[in-house]
């Protein structure tokens, strides 16, 4: 027993089931059973999970975005004494749009052992199911909720030669897809919903078709991942720089308009900034 305690001393990052207990590995179950303390987003959710796995719950410590600093100090104090701490999120893999990054960084700085136990992660599952190129991809988390910030966000990613993966909420999905069509242009895409759960679904189509479909339907329920294929050179949208900037300047500052135009046209930002200045002056003098 003493050797087992030494083996598992440190922080173990554990991916927990998204929708099926079969998604959790035997190693993860054993680590949870042997943990001295479990740091978790929601103690109620984790207590329920442990009950379903038949594990007598050790002390649970709430660790989430709102208390990460204070709770992280408590976890580090326990780890310094050689305790075995498991870190779990409500579902899926910690640190992937979930809390944990500051804690892992602090452990690394102090030389505290950290291990990760693989399991379900919605971005990877969606990428695998999308049928889109997976040799190079970028997971970008949630897009901003406000339209202007969201459009700027997509513009910053428009020229990246990789498959893009996003989280999105049901109520915002239609508006987000409409912005993607305008900013990212013609691409293949997939919408994955409720991965590994009873009502799992994946829709694959052209991005513009998916945007039209979701615009005509009630907002979908559940956890949603959007996967967008890389830019298509043959189908890349063409933009007249002056017309594009005139439109952008209605809602953006000159610098922001130039940044977005540069991402969409591939032209030098400096050139577009100068053009935006002249267009602004032209508008003010008319």
| Residue ranges per structural domain of the chain | 2-120, 123-235, 241-284
Q: What average pLDDT does this structure show over 143-170?
A: 93
Q: Where residue 243 falls among pLDDT bands split at 50, 70, 90? A: confident
Q: What is the pLDDT of residue 237?
A: 52
Report, at the CATH architecture level, how domain 2-120 is classified.
Answer: 3-Layer(aba) Sandwich (3.40)
Cβ pair 85, 75 in contact under 8 A: yes
Q: What is the pLDDT of residue 191?
A: 98
The pTM of the full predicted model, rounded to 2 decimals, is: 0.76
Q: Do domains 2-120 and 123-235 have the same CATH topology?
A: no
Q: What is the pLDDT of residue 5?
A: 40
The whole-angstrom separation of Cα 70 and Cα 79 is: 15
Q: Directed axis angle between helix 43-53 and helix 26-34, to 10°?
A: 110
**Which is more confidently placed, 252 or 163?**
163
Q: What average pLDDT does this structure show over 256-277?
A: 82
- Does position 236 have pLDDT exceeding 70, yes or no? no
In terms of CATH, what superfamily is 123-235? Tetrapyrrole methylase, C-terminal domain (3.30.950.10)
- Does position 202 have pLDDT exceeding 80, yes or no? yes
- Does position 129 have pLDDT exceeding 80, yes or no? yes
- Residue tagged 């305790």 (tokens): 83
Q: What is the pLDDT of residue 180?
A: 95
Within 8 A by CB and 6+ apart from 99, the residues are: 41, 63, 64, 65, 68, 89
């Amino acid at each position: 027993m003493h050797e087992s305690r030494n083996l598992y001393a440190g922080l173990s990052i554990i991916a927990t089931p998204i929708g099926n207990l079969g998604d959790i590995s035997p190693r993860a179950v054993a680590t949870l059973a042997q943990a001295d303390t479990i740091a978790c987003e929601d103690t109620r959710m984790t207590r329920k999970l442990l009950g379903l796995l038949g594990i007598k719950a050790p002390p649970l410590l709430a660790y989430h975005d709102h208390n990460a600093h204070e709770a992280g100090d408590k976890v580090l104090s326990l780890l310094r004494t050689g305790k075995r701490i498991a870190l779990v999120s409500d579902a899926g893999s910690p640190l992937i749009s979930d809390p944990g990054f500051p804690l892992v960084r602090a452990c690394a700085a102090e030389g505290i052992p950290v291990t990760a136990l693989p399991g379900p992660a919605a971005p990877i599952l969606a990428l695998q199911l999308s049928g889109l190129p997976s040799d190079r991809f970028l997971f970008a988390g949630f897009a901003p909720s406000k339209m202007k910030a969201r459009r700027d966000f997509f513009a910053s990613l428009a020229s990246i030669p990789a498959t893009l993966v996003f989280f999105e909420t049901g109520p915002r999905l239609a508006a987000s897809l409409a912005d993607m069509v305008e900013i990212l242009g013609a691409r293949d895409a997939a919408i994955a919903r409720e991965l590994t759960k009873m009502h799992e679904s994946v829709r694959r189509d052209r991005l513009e078709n998916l945007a039209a479909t979701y615009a005509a339907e009630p907002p979908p329920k559940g956890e949603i991942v959007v996967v967008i294929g890389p830019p298509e050179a043959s189908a890349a949208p063409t933009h007249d720089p002056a017309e594009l900037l005139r439109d952008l300047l209605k809602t953006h500052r000159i610098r922001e308009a130039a940044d977005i135009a540069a991402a969409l046209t591939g032209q030098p930002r400096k050139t577009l900034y100068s053009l935006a200045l002249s267009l602004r002056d032209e508008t003010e003098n008319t």
